[in-house]
Amino acid sequence: MGVNPTTRHVAVTMHTRRPAALDAAAEFVAGMSAHGIVSVLMPDEVELVRQRIPDAAVGTLDDDTSCELSVVFGGDGNILRAAEWALPREVPVLGVNLGHVGFLAELESSQVGTLVDTVVNRAYDVEERSTVDCAIRDRVGGKAVWRSFAVNECSLEKGARERMMDVLIRVDDRPLCRWATDGVLVATPTGSTAYAFSAHGPVVWPDVDATLLVPLSAHALFARPCVLSPNSTVRIELLPGTHGGVLWCDGRRRAEMAAGMEVEVRRGEHTLRLARTAEQPFVTRLVRKFQLPVNGWRGVDERDQVHAG
């Protein structure tokens, strides 16, 4: 797609199977078009928007497209999808939650009406989140045979349902523990409220620079989640006798691993840039998204009422 350097471009992605997401995206694209801003979409999404707004200024998202922002209509899964394009290009991502929890999203569906003015006026700040890079190394020579990144977590999971896998964990080239386990997560602070949260890992504030190591149902005396230095390198080796495993990155990209292979996880080369329209403390977001009972089960007197924001 030819790009006019004087024309502003915004990438738009959406949950195409949710009518509410399609309608919200179409409304946003119409607003962008009215202000002379071109919305670029994935090829299969261009026609869906044109069916609703035939005269909208839209284009097709490709490797050469230069965008100031990526706007996502859906849930966290759609934001992770958009991150695959935005991360290496360092394009900020602004999510509109039309899913369930939506921890990565900035706006709720009820706030879509304010979005056009926000983007037109660039009325947002950018928050940077750490990522992790992972590489699967072969049994012979340690050559990397597969690479990817993760915003939330890399999860190595057992390949055979009926049997645990046997793994050796090394941190900074020093053995830490050996686990018979269903899996192992290496997560970012952003991912601490995702899969790692379900695995009873700690909730880590996103501005904390750290890496999480979380076992999944490990059969071992020491099987506690660990908070590591952000500069630590984690290596997980599938020991002989294990029936293989599957490495997932954010639940979106996967690769098979055989016994003797090793996955290496370290700080990511790129950061995820999230667009924020208002300063909102993480504790407020945590209470709101998880609907935490901040008043306690005993109830409170009006004088002691706790306001979560």
Q: Looking at the annotation, which residues are catalytic?
A: 76
Instruction: List CB contacts of 119: < 8 A, sequence separation 6 or more.
Output: 10, 32, 37, 69, 71, 94
What is Dmax (Cα atoms) for the chain?
67
The radius of gyration of the chain from alpha carbons, rounded to an integer in Å, stands at: 22
Q: Are strands 107-108 and 226-228 parallel, antiparallel or unpaired?
A: unpaired
Helix (H, G, I), strand (E, B) or coil at 298: coil
First to last CA, the chain: 45
How far CA 15 is from CA of 19, 214, 307, in Å, comes to 8, 30, 34
Euclidean distance between CA atoms 242 and 264, whole angstroms:
18
DSSP string, 115-167: HHHHHHTT--EEEEE--EEEEEE-TTTT-EEEEEEESSEEEEEES-TTS-EEE
Tokens of 74: 């859906």
